[in-house]
Structure formats: structure tokens, C-alpha cells
Structure 1
Amino acid sequence: MQWLELTVQTHPEAVESVSELLSGYSRDGVVIEEPYELSDDGQEYRILVNQPVQVHAYLPIDGTEEEKKQEIARGLWHFTSMGAHFVGELHSRVVDEEDWANAWKDYYHVTHIGQRLVIRPSWREYTPKDNEVVLTLDPGMAFGTGVHPTTRMCLERVEQLVQPGMRIMDVGTGSGILALAAAKLGAAHIDAIDNSSVAVESTRANTEMNDLQEQIDVVLGVLDETEAKKKADHYDLVFANIIAHIIGSIAPELAQVVAPHGLLVVSGIIEARRPDAEGPLLAAGLELVEETRIDDWLALTYRKRA
């Protein structure tokens, strides 16, 4: 299959807005490429903060891609009111899915997160130290590699909060990275859900690669009222690393599936959009117990009252 790759360079503060625009046209999500520098002979890296970020979206070549490209370009034009340096020009190229996957291997390296977690692409060699927990991850075209601040903060919360035997839901699982980490840290069962077929395929492949099929169920769909009723009060811990207004739109459903005294961790939220998520979550009967921050990105942890 061929894809039209759309790329725009943005200021870090505009990443969420640009990602939200592009994801409205790209059914399989967006890829956020942050600048980094390599170390350890190219096996590890660190993110260069406050530097321009590349956001990529992929449209299937089906006869509608040029019209969508023009609509996206018009949408980006409105962001110029933020300042010329905030959003750059829209660039495009046609890529094969296989060629895309191979080219992107150059961007992924061994990543250390928190005290114990290590993300290892399958093509990189790594020998774990002490009590490190290694996740083998091939992101494919799904978002979630541990690079973006929101994913990093969620992984840190996974490490801090997951206890053996827990029941967990991962809403908007992307590559499945949070579900994989939870399973490796001893969760009894994880339901991973995403509305992107590419994300679901990626999560299933990563689950098999880590031999975690018995702990992780991957579902194509959305967390709607029907699904929430079926799973009401079921999960000790729920993750939703999406974007602020979507979190707000499904806040009642997120609250419903969390068990009494259970926790909900939400991220994908930039400070300016915090009210879009927080207002509905508080209205759904959740209370904020902790927040973490990297630059302007937030991860918020809520507890469900009994």
C-alpha cells in the first residue's frame, strides 16, 4: 500500500494543535519526531528540548489525498496567527509502507525511562542491567515509542503504580507501549483499545514479540457508553494518553470503568488545554491526586471516589 506522507515543522508549543489537525484526516494517527542527539556509539539518545519538532501524518493513496492535503494546508495557515516561527510549510511525498518502516528504523534507539524500564527496538542489541525491565518495541506506523514527553510520563506512572495482579485498561493504546510495560511489571490482565487498525496491528505484533498474549487483549474500537457499562468498576488502573478534548469527551466513560478507589492517568495534555480534560473529569466524580510535567506537557492522575 502507498501513503502520502505529510510533514510540517512546528514549535513545541504548537505540536498538540498541529497533531490534532492532522489526526482529523489521518485515520492512523500522527508521528511526532523530536530532535535528538546520539550517544553510546549511536545506541542511545537524548531529546533536544525547545527545538523545532516534525509532525508526520499519513493519508492512504485512494483518490482523496490531494483534497485532504489542501484542507490541511488551509488549516495550518490559520496557525500563522501564532507567529511565523510556530508552524512551517506543509511538505509531502509518496511512500510505500514497507519503505517507511525501514527508513524509520534509523530514528529509534534504546531508551531508558524511569528507574527500570528500557525500550529496545527489535533491531538493536541490549544487555539489561540489575533489575531492568526490557520492552522490545517495533512502533510501525502507530504512535507511542517512549520519545514524546506524554508517553514518557505515562511510562513513569506505569512503573510507579502497577502492582502484581492488577486489572488495567489502556485507551488509545497506539503501539501498545503502556500495556506492554504494565504486563512486564506484573499486571494480571490489560485490555488495550484503539480506533486505528494500524495501531491494533502494531500492538498485537508487539504483544507477540514480547510473549505477552495471555496478559494483553487488543481490541479495535472506542470506549463508548456501551463498552463502559460492560466494564463498569472493573479496572484498578486506566491509562488514556490521547489529547485533551478527546479525554474530556469520554470522561464519563473513563470514570465509569475505573474501580472504586482506582486510578486514572491521562496525558497528551498541554497546559493551555488542561481545562478541556480536567473539567469533565472532575464533573465525572474523579479527584486529582497527582500531576507531573515535562515542559508544557502534563500527565494527570485521578482517583475514583468510592
Structure 2
Amino acid sequence: MQWLELTVQVHPEAVESVSELLSNYSRDGVVIEEPYELSDDGQEYRILVGQPVQVHAYLPLDGTEEEKRQEIARGLWHFTSLGAHFVGELHSRVVDEEDWANAWKDYYHVTHIGSRLVIRPSWREYTPKEGEVVLTLDPGMAFGTGVHPTTRMCLERVEQLVKPGMQLLDVGTGSGILALAAAKLGATHIDAIDNSSVAVESSKANAEMNGLQQEIDVVLGVLDEAEARRKENHYDLVLANIIAHIIGSIAPQLAQVVAPHGLLVVSGIIEARRADAEGPLLAAGMELVEETRIDDWLAITYRKRA
């Protein structure tokens, strides 16, 4: 299968808005490529904070791709009102799915997060140190490698909050990285859900690669009212690393499935959009516990009021 790859360089503060625009046309989501520099012979890397970010989307070559590309270009043009440095030109090229997957391997390296977590791409070698918890990951075409600040902050919170025996829900699981970390840290069972079939396939494969297919149950779908009623008060910890307005739109369902006094961690939120998520969550019965921040990105922890 062939894809039309669309790439635009954006200011870090524009990543969420541009990603949301491209996601409306790219059925399998977007890929966010942050600038980095390598060390340790290419096995370690450091994100160059504050530098422009590349956002990629992929459209199947099905006869509608040119119309969609033009609509995306028009949408990006409106962002230029924020300043010419916020959004660059839209570039496109045709790629084969196999070639795309292999090329992206160059961008992923062993990542250390928190005090113990290590993310190891499946094609890279790594010898763990004592006490480290290693997740083997093949992101495929699904977002979630631990590189982006939102994923990093969520992983740090998972490391801090997960206790043996916990029941978790991971909404918008992507590659399954948060679910994998929770399982490795002792959670008894994790339900993971995503509305992308590519993400579901990727997360299932990653669970199997880590020997965690019994602990992690991945399904294709959304957290709707029916599912929330079925899982009411069920989870000790719920994770939702999505974007602010989506979190706000499902706030009642997120609150409903959290157990009394249980916790909810939400991310994918920039400071300017915080109210889009937080207002509905507070109205749904959650209370603020803690927030973490990298630049303008937030990960916020809430507790369900009894």
C-alpha cells in the first residue's frame, strides 16, 4: 500500500493545534518528530527543547488524497495569523508502507524515563542495569514512544502511582506504552482502548512482545456512555494521553469509570487549552491533585471525590 506523507514544521506551542487539524484527515493519527541530538554512539539522545517540531500525517492513496491535502493546506494557512514562525510550509511525498516503517526506525533510540523505566525499541540492543524496568517497543504507525513530553510525563506518573494489584484503563492507548509500563510495574489488569485499528494492532503486538498479553486487554473503540456504565467505579487509575478538547468531551465517562478515591491522569494538554479539559473534569466530580509540566505541555492528576 502507498501513502501520501504530509509534513509541516511548527513551533512547539502549535503542535497540538496542527496535530488536531491533521488528525481530522489522517485516519491513523499523526506522528510528532521532535528535534534531538544523539550520544553514546547513537544509543542515547536528548530532546532539543524549544526547537521547531515536525508533524507528519499519512493519507492512503485512494483518489481523495489531493483534495484532503488542499483542505489541510487551507487549514494551516489560518494558523499563520499567529505569526510566520508558528507554522511552516506543507510538504508531501509518496511512500510505501514498508519503506516508511523502516525509515522511522532511525528516529527511535533507547530512552530512560523516571528513575527506573527504560524504553527499548525492538531493533536496538540494551543491557539493563539493576532495578531498571525495560519495555520493548515497536511503535509501527502508532503514536507513543516516550519521546513526546506528554508521553514522558505520563510514564513518570505511571511509575509513581502504579501499585501491585491495581486495575487500570488506558484511553487512546496508541502503541500501548503506558499500559506496558503499568503491567511491568505490577498492575493486575489493564484495559486499553483506541479508535485506530493500527494502534490496536500495534499495542497488541507490543503486549505480546513483552509477554504481557494476559495482563493487557486491547480493544478497538471509544469510551462512550454505554461502556462507562458497564465499567462504573471500576478502575484504580485511568490514563488519557489524548488532547484537551477530546478529554473534555469524554470527561463524564472518564470520571464515571474511576473508582471512589481513584486517580485520573490526563495529558496531551497545552496550557492555553487547559480549561477545555479541566472545566468538564471538575464538573464531573474530579478534584485536582497534582500537575507536571514540560514547557507548555501539562500532565494533570485528579482524584475522584467520594
Separation (CA, whole Å) in 2 of partners of 1:3 and 1:227: 34
**CA displacement 1:38-84 (0-9 Å, x = unmatched):** 00000010000010000000111111111110000000000000100
Task: State the secondary structure of the residue aligned to 1:267.
Answer: strand
Distance 2:138 2:205 in 1: 8
Q: CA shift at 1:277, angstroms? A: 0.2
Q: Give, in angstroms, the shift of residue 205 of structure 1.
A: 0.7
Superposed CA deviations along residues 108-160 of structure 1, whole A, max 9, x for unmatched, are 00000000000000111000001000000010110000000000000000000
TM-fit CA distance, 1:2: 1.2
> How far 1:97 moved relative to its partner?
1.1
Distance (whole Å) between structure 1 residues aligned to residue 50 and residue 141 of structure 2: 25
Partner of 1:196: 196
Which residue in 2 is equivalent to 1:115?
115
- Aligned to 2:71, what secondary structure does the other structure show? helix
* 1:216 alignment partner in structure 2: 216
- C-alpha separation in 1, matches of 2:262 and 2:248: 19
> How many pairs does the alignment contain?
306
In the alignment, the residues of structure 2 paired with residue 57 and residue 221 of structure 1 have an alpha-carbon distance, to the nearest angstrom, of: 21
Deviation of residue 249 (structure 1)? 0.1
Question: How much has 1:27 moved relative to structure 2?
Answer: 1.1
Taking the aligned partners of 1:181 and 1:31, their CA distance within structure 2 comes to 21
How much has 1:281 moved relative to structure 2? 0.2
In structure 2, the residue corresponding to 1:154 is in which secondary structure? Answer: helix
> Structure 2: how far apart are the matches of 1:275 and 1:304?
18
The equivalences for 1:146-295 within 5 A come to 146-295=146-295
How far the C-alpha of 1:8 sits from its partner, in A, is 0.2
Cα shift at 1:96: 1.2
- Could you tell me how far apart the structure 2 residues matched to 1:18 and 1:114 are? 29
Report the Cα offset of residue 305 of structure 1: 1.0
Give the SS at the match of 2:213.
coil
Residues 154-175 of structure 1: per-residue CA shift (max 9 Å, x gap): 0000000000000000000000
**In the TM superposition, what whole-angstrom CA distance separates every residue of 1:166-208 from its partner, at most 9, and x where no partner exists?**
0000000000000000000000000000000000010011011
* Correspondence for 1:32: 32
Shift of the alpha carbon at 1:274? 0.2
SS, match of residue 51 in structure 2: coil
Q: Distance in 2 between matches of 1:288 and 1:68?
A: 40
Rounded Cα–Cα distance in structure 1 between residues aligned with 2:107 and 2:101: 11
Displacement of 1:243: 0.1
With normalisation by structure 2, the TM-score equals 1.00
CA separation in 2, counterparts of 1:192 and 1:39?
34
2:296 match: 296
Supply the distance in 2 between the matched residues of 1:145 and 1:61 (Cα, whole angstroms): 26
2:12 is equivalent to residue 46 of structure 1: no
Q: SS at 2:292's partner residue?
A: strand
Q: CA deviation at 1:225?
A: 0.2
Following TM superposition, by how much is the alpha carbon of 1:295 offset from its aligned partner in structure 2, in angstroms?
Answer: 0.3
Q: Please give the TM-score of this superposition, normalised by the length of structure 1.
A: 1.00
Moved more, 255-264 or 58-67: 58-67
Q: How far apart, in 2, do the equivalents of 1:88 and 1:42 lie? A: 29
Moved more, 58-67 or 76-85: 58-67
Query: For each residue in 1:233-280, what CA deviation from the matched residue of structure 2 results, as whole angstroms up to 9, or x when unmatched?
Result: 000000000000000000000000000000000000000000000000
Q: CA deviation at 1:5?
A: 0.6
What secondary structure is seen at the aligned counterpart in 2 of 1:50?
A: coil
Between the aligned partners of 1:253 and 1:97, the Cα distance in structure 2 is: 35
Distance across 2 between alignment mates of 1:231 and 1:94: 43
- Aligned sequence identity (%): 90
